[in-house]
């Protein structure tokens, strides 16, 4: 019942964000500022606090690296096969990237931290780093190649090196792998700040998205949901079962790959010639459906 209550709370926050946008409380400017607080403050604090007391050798293994990348690229291949014949290239590009690009930072890691123990949370932080470093440049390349968009790819890739999420992960693993210590007061403050990552992110998701029902492509959106919410976590379950990883690694990877499509795919679609309305719809729908699917996953792995 505790998991049910937590996931229903996530749904409530998502709908509150939508309501605040509709009422005008969260306009574009306020949503952007709220998003900045979540992305540059709360989420990095959560990542650091999950990894600062653990050595990198205890968390990052060849099995975790290879397994995570296999799940990611296998899903990319399936998405390409499923969506390769779509008439609209902007829609095709978005459908492909949204079938694999996971919301690991805004939803995955905060949910894992709130639901499982510290061992699982630490592994989830590493999964976030591995997959984010891969899926972000991959998404940019696919959008640019399919849509023919003219953009400065070097600029997009350079953004990875100033990504606060990845910097926080490196900082946490650096401290954990050294003899450095973090003052207890700083740990307490970061713990409090990190607790706001999930609610802030959900409010931003709800406030950022709009749906035009007459324009819904049920076939395309249904395929995205099936690949992202069903196929990807199932593939992770099979791969990490075959690899015979420990319980913490299995739990972290399955739940993280079961997260919905990342909000950032909407931003990338808007900047790189994708179908932004279609992207907006898919982020909302996969997030909504994942409330139920994550309950199933969490129940099974628990």
The domain containing residue 122 runs over which residues? 2-209+216-301
The predicted-structure confidence for 225-245, as pLDDT tens digits, reads as follows: 999 999 999 999 999 999 999
The predicted-structure confidence for 23-49, as pLDDT tens digits, reads as follows: 888 888 888 888 788 878 887 888 788
Q: What is the DSSP string of the chain?
A: -HHHHHHHHHHHHHHHHHHHHHHTSS-HHHHHHHHHHIIIIIHHHHHHHHHTTS-HHHH--HHHHHHHHHHHHHHHHHHHHHHTT-S-HHHHHHHHHHTT-B-IIIIIHHHHHHHS-HHHHHHHHHHHHHHHHHHHHHHHHHHHHHH-----HHHHHHGGGG-HHHHHHHHHHHHHTSS----HHHHHHHHHHHTTHHHHHHHHHHHH----GGG--HHHHHHHHIIIIIIHHHHHHHHHHHTT--HHHHHHHHHHHTS-B-THHHHHHHHTT--HHHHHHHHHHHHHHHHHHHHHHHHHH-
Question: Which whole number is the average pLDDT over 96-118?
Answer: 89
Number of domains in the chain: 1
The predicted-structure confidence for 73-102, as pLDDT tens digits, reads as follows: 999 999 999 998 887 888 999 999 999 999
Asked if residues 192 and 224 have their Cβ atoms less than 8 Å apart, the reply is: no
User: Where is pLDDT greater, at 120 or 137?
Assistant: 120
Q: Which of 186, 185, 195 is nearest to 38 (CA)?
A: 195
pTM of structure: 0.82
pLDDT at 160: 62
CATH number of the domain enclosing 33: 1.20.1530.20
Least confident of 53-57, 97-101, 259-263: 53-57
The predicted-structure confidence for 270-302, as pLDDT tens digits, reads as follows: 777 788 788 878 888 898 888 889 989 998 987
d(CA 255, CA 249): 10
CA atoms within 13 A on the CB side of 150: 0
pLDDT at 155: 62
d(CA 208, CA 206): 6
């Amino acid at each position: 019942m505790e998991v049910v209550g937590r996931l229903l709370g996530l749904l409530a926050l998502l709908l509150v964000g939508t309501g605040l946008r509709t009422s005008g409380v969260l306009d574009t400017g306020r949503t952007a500022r709220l998003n900045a607080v979540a992305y540059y403050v709360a989420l990095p604090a959560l990542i650091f606090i999950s990894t600062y007391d653990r050595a990198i050798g205890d968390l990052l293994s060849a099995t975790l690296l290879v397994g995570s990348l296999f799940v990611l690229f296998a899903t990319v291949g399936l998405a390409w096969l499923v969506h390769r014949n779509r008439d609209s290239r902007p829609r095709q590009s978005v459908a492909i990237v949204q079938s694999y690009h996971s919301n690991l930072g805004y939803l995955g890691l905060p949910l894992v931290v709130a639901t499982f123990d510290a061992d699982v949370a630490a592994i989830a932080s590493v999964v976030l780093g591995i997959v984010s470093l891969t899926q972000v440049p991959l998404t940019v390349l696919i959008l640019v190649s399919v849509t023919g968009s003219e953009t400065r790819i070097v600029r997009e890739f350079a953004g990875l090196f100033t990504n606060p999420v990845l910097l926080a992960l490196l900082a946490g693993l650096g401290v954990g792998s050294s003899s450095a210590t973090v003052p207890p007061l700083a740990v307490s403050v970061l713990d409090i700040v990190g607790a706001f990552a999930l609610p802030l992110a959900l409010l931003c998701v709800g406030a950022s998205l709009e749906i035009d029902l007459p324009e819904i492509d049920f076939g395309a959106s249904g395929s995205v949901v099936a690949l992202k919410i069903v196929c990807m976590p199932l593939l992770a379950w099979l791969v990490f079962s075959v690899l015979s990883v420990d319980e913490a690694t299995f739990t972290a990877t399955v739940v993280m790959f079961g997260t919905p499509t990342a909000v950032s795919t909407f931003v990338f679609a808007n900047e790189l010639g994708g179908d932004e309305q279609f992207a907006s719809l898919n982020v909302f729908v996969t997030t909504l459906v994942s409330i139920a699917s994550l309950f199933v996953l969490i129940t099974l792995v628990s």
